[in-house]
Structure 1
Amino acid sequence: MSSILHRGVSRTGWLLVFYGVISILFGISALVWPGGTVIALTWAFGVMALAEGIISVFALFNRHLAMSRGWLIVYAIASIVFGLLAIWHPLAVVNVLLLFLAAWLIVAGIYRIVFAIRVRKEITGEWMIALSGVLAILLGGLFAAYPVAGLLTVAIWIGVAALVYGVLQVIAGIRVHKWKRAL
């Protein structure tokens, strides 16, 4: 293995462990403080979107763009507006996003039920597709009816996902580090 690749792999292992530990800590905090997690996540997405928007504005001055300037302008404006709204009014942004999620779940549920009915003669177990549609509609309805509970539920699921992701990152990082030592 080349020395450049060897050095890159050795750094990658520790980086994976570092990211994994951060993800585990984030997951634990999301489970302990789900309300604060929702606000912090919204604020973090706002900061990221604002940074993307500002970087996109600077990219407009580059002669060699991968996409048209028009799309880049639209992207920059949308990123900056969303970023500022998420930073200044995180609860309002989160509530709107949750309502979009609720609407999407309801539409997706209806789609799954219709799909299950249409394919019932071609496949077996279509009832599971229909059931997933019913559950999506129920979840969307619950998110719309009880947005605070929906936000807390999303925060808890994010926390669980972050914990699992973090553990997998730590395991992968340790394995990469052991592999590097074996070379």
Structure 2
Amino acid sequence: MATNLPLSDSLRHTVGRSWWVILLFGIVSALFGVMALVNPLSMGASLTWAIGILAVAEGVVGLIGAFGKNAGVSRGWMVLYALISLAFGVMAIANPVSMAASIVMVMAVWFIVSGVMRIVFAIRVREEIDNEWMLILGGVLGVILGGLMLAAPLAGLIVGVIWIGVGALVYGLLQIFAAFKVRKLAS
């Protein structure tokens, strides 16, 4: 529920002065989108590498936290989680393209399992609902998508990065447009 309350002059001026932050986010997002569309394999590897850095950092912090006074979780589970994070992070940093393809393969298996589950569910409830064929179709498409991703994980990675790139490009362009709208509030 939106209200059309007028902004105070000071708030309007403050928001208007920060237009460049919105513009900067938009430019960075649009550039990321273009780079992802121009070279999706490289961007997929870069994203995997960045996630690897985060996983290593989380593993280190997890190990430190596991031996603190208030871990909040069993020390054994915390150490196990930290070691898995470290292992994943190191592998992602050392070979980001291979790890990106591995992540795609995990997603592919998930698509297949969830597709089969949808089909089974639709068959079980076909007496209770109308148009169960839509659930079955969704399940079949999930199985097909998963199979295609398993057959060609790098192609799956490239398609995923292209979709992310298109989204980032559209988001960036909208942010750039919004920045110039917000800029008018400062005057």
Q: 1:112 to 1:39 in 2, by over 3 A?
A: same
User: Which secondary structure state, in structure 2, belongs to the residue aligned with residue 115 of structure 1?
Assistant: helix
From the superposition, tell whether residues 13 and 84 of structure 1 become closer, same or farther in structure 2 (CA, over 3 Å): farther
| Distance of 1:63 and 1:159 partners within structure 2 | 43
CA drift at 1:162: 2.0
CA 1:24/1:100 → structure 2, altered by over 3 Å: closer, same or farther? same
**2:101 paired with 1:133:** no
Does the residue aligned with 1:58 lie in a helix, a strand or coil? helix
Q: Deviation string for 1:34-68 (max 9, x for gaps)?
A: 11111111111111111122222333454344x22
How far is the alpha carbon of 1:16 from its aligned partner? 4.5
Structure-2 change in CA distance of 1:177 and 1:80 (3 Å): farther
The SS at the match of 2:126 is coil
1:109-131 Cα distance to aligned partner (Å, 9 max, x none): 11111112222222223211111
1:34-113 map, 5 Å: 34-60=40-66, 62-65=68-71, 67-70=72-75, 71-113=77-119
Shift of 1:92: 2.3
* 2:165 alignment partner in structure 1: 159
Segment of structure 1 superposing worse, 120-129 or 100-109: 120-129
* Aligned residues of 2:16 and 2:184 also touching (Cα < 8 A): no
Deviates more, 1:12-21 or 1:42-51: 12-21
RMSD: 3.1
Secondary structure of 2:42's match? helix
Instruction: After superposition, give the CA deviation of every residue in 1:124-170 in whole Å (9 maximum; x if it has no partner).
Output: 23211111111111111111112222221111112122223434555
- Once residues 52 and 173 of structure 1 are traced to their aligned partners in structure 2, the CA distance between those partners, rounded to angstroms, is 34
Tell me the residue number matched to 1:26: 32
Q: Deviation at 1:13? A: 6.3
Q: Percent identity?
A: 45
TM-score, L = length of structure 1: 0.79
The aligned residue for residue 3 of structure 2 is: none
1:146 maps to 2:187:
no
1:14 Cα offset (Å): 5.1
User: How many residues align structurally?
Assistant: 179
3-state SS of the aligned residue for 2:129?
A: coil
Distance 1:100 1:22 in 2: 30
The unaligned stretches of length 5 or more in structure 2 are 1-7
Q: SS in structure 2 opposite 1:154?
A: helix
Q: What amino acid is aligned across from residue 56 of structure 1 in structure 2?
A: G
The answer for unaligned runs of 5 or more in structure 1 is: none
Between Structure 1 and Structure 2, whose CA radius of gyration is higher?
Answer: 2
Q: Which amino acid aligns with 1:52?
A: E
Q: Give the TM-score of the pair, scaled to structure 2.
A: 0.77
